[in-house]
Structure 1
Amino acid sequence: MRISINVTDQSWPGALPDGLADVARRAEDAGADTLWLPDHLVQADPTLPPEHDDQLEAYTALGYLAARTSRIRLGTMVSAATFRTPALLVKAVTTLDVLSGGRAWFGVGAGHQAQEAADMGLDLPGTRARLDRLADVLRLARRMWAGDESPFTGSDGLRLERPRCRPAPATPGGPPVLVGGAGERRTLRLVAEHADACNVFDLPDDGATVRHKLAVLADHCADVGRDVATIDRTLSARLAPGTTADELAAKAETAAGWGITHLVLITPRPWDAGALAAVGGAVERVADA
């Protein structure tokens, strides 16, 4: 079981660059596997108070963090496939992988924030078109990382005459790909076909939904001839203020019983030293177990 943090609330008091860098260093020292950032231009977490609306552009911020850390992995949770052109998105995550020495994740999904798209002038077509574009991005990324520069044709008139990716990613074959979303017909099928990881949400139903979604994923994997065990099964869960390391380790153990291999934690306020100390203690306890 791996434990990571997702920095959704970026409203630290005082200087934001120092707050973000301090969280990244503390998370790395605590043994967290990955630091994830949401890929939004405006705050998209509906549980946060209105005054907590700071939101950095993800890939610029991750590049900043790559220069201030040395071990922790870095990625978006997740990038909407439609907000950037496919080649630009692949180049952004490749650049992060190169500059971080092979520590990037490629977190990508179909996208769903209609108000953000309207407010900021971002492209957000209908559900089917977004899923088609997600499939395009996944296929194109593998092609570019393999050095295949032949013409690429995708959905809705997408055509690249000579897609190339130089420098090549530091990670052989490209960064691991996490597909966000748990749609049972298409999204989890795309995970089975193209991704290294999925992401599902922790709901207050004792893991019933999580177990069901993972069973659907296993069926898709069987259809395409893939072992579901090769997919990192991540769970996004909220870390309540005051949670102890023992309580968090118990949460990780429970999630492992549902089939989860990687716990991604979100806080209802900016990450601080106390929350990260609980993460560090839980990482140690999970490793000992």
Structure 2
Amino acid sequence: MKLALHINDYSGIGPPARMASALARIAATAEDTGFSRLSLTDHLWQVSMVGEEYEPMLESYTTLGYLAARTRTIELQTLVTAAMYRPPGLLAKIVTTLDVLSGGRAWLGVGAGWNEEEASGLGLPHAAQAERFAHLEETLRICLQMWSDSTDSFVGEHYQLAGTLNSPQALTRPHPRILVGGGGERVTLRIAAQYADAFNVFGGRDAGQKVARLREHCEKLGRDFDAVEKTAFLPLDVTAPADLEAALADLRRLHELGFTTVYAAVADIGSVTPLETLGSKVIPEIAAW
């Protein structure tokens, strides 16, 4: 099993003038202590599950570009981009650019999106759930076409591109890996089974059910179930010895359900001490599972 670092809270890393240096230190520590990936939330206002909407929030792809220059090996992505926030051709170009400038370390993490208040507040596109899923699926089709040899037009229900020229192409071949996030069993997991290299769900008590539903979708589509990586999101607090044991128990539970990567939102990340604890006491143990 692998551990990825997920950053969804910037409130504890210092004032704006110190954010760049703090993030560089966090990313370097994560890389040096054995985290395989670094993901950022793709929101523009803080979400209620984490904090208050007025708390600091950085635009994710700008931040990933900065962190690409401050790291060497850790893989980079969002967890996850709301498909409607950026036109698909632009999104493909953004992820391609990140992949080229990071030396082939970019993922496309994408989902249908949900935050209507944020979208309405900043004038971003939002729609009813069924339409958001349709946008997500067309976004994936467009990205895959732009990462192919085709420069043909794309004509869909929601997007029309006169040509899908994408130069330079990504370094990752055949294309940057795709992760679809979201736990919807009927549509989201079907889209993941059809298009994704990985899927991501919350690592709660129903996580095993999501794996079972993914398997069913893969069987219906004729997709190799083992070709889709199973990943989970999990808040981790390792500030006390009992917390460390609880974290290991949660990680083992997810491993036994078939998950191979966990994206950890680590408490008190500003001090980097929790990252060092995870790197010395957790990552070596779960690597053997």
Bin for the TM-score computed over the shorter chain = over 0.9
Distance 2:53 2:116 in 1: 18
Per the alignment, do residues 163 and 119 of structure 1 end up closer, same or farther by CA in structure 2, a change over 3 Å counting? same
What one-letter code is carried by the residue in structure 1 that aligns with 2:181?
G
Correspondence for 1:239 = 236
Q: Contact 2:109/2:178 (CA < 8 Å) preserved in 1?
A: yes
Deviations 1:202-244 (A, max 9, x none): 22xxx3x111111110000001111211111111111125155
Match of 1:20? 23
| TM-score normalised by structure 1 residue count | 0.93
1:199-238 correspondence runs (5 A): 199-203=200-204, 207=205, 209-238=206-235
Q: Secondary structure at the match of 1:237?
A: strand
Structure 1 position 249, deviation (Å): 3.5
Structure 1: how far apart are the matches of 2:268 and 2:125? 29
Shift of 1:128: 1.1
CA separation of 1:126 and 1:152: change in aligned 2, threshold 3 A:
same
2:69 match: 67
2:220 counterpart letter in structure 1: D
Checking the alignment, whether the CA contact within 8 Å between 1:233 and 1:259 is kept in structure 2 is yes
Match of 1:142 in 2: 144
Runs of 5+ consecutive residues of structure 2 not aligned to the other structure: none
* Structure 1 vs Structure 2 CA RMSD: 1.6
Return the letter of the residue paired with 1:41: L
Q: Could you tell me which runs of 5 or more consecutive residues in structure 1 were left unpaired when the two chains were aligned.
A: none
> Does 2:262 match 1:260?
no
Change (3 A) 1:2 1:252: same
2:124 maps to: 122
- Alpha-carbon distance in structure 1 between the residues aligned to 2:155 and 2:52: 43
Q: CA separation in 1, counterparts of 2:56 and 2:203?
A: 25
Instruction: Report if the CA contact (8 A) 2:82-2:113 is conserved.
Output: yes
Q: What percent identity do the matched residue pairs reach?
A: 37
Deviation at 1:117, TM superposition (A): 0.7
| Equivalent position of 1:196 in the other structure | 197
Question: What is the correspondence of 1:30-179 to structure 2 with a 5 Å cutoff?
Answer: 30-48=33-51, 53-156=55-158, 158-179=159-180
What CA distance in whole angstroms lies between the structure 1 residues aligned with 2:237 and 2:52?
A: 16
Aligned partners of 1:102 and 1:45: how far apart in 2? 34
Residue 285 of structure 1, CA deviation:
1.3
1:8 to 2:8 alignment: yes
The aligned length equals 283
Distance 1:152 1:50, change over 3 A: closer
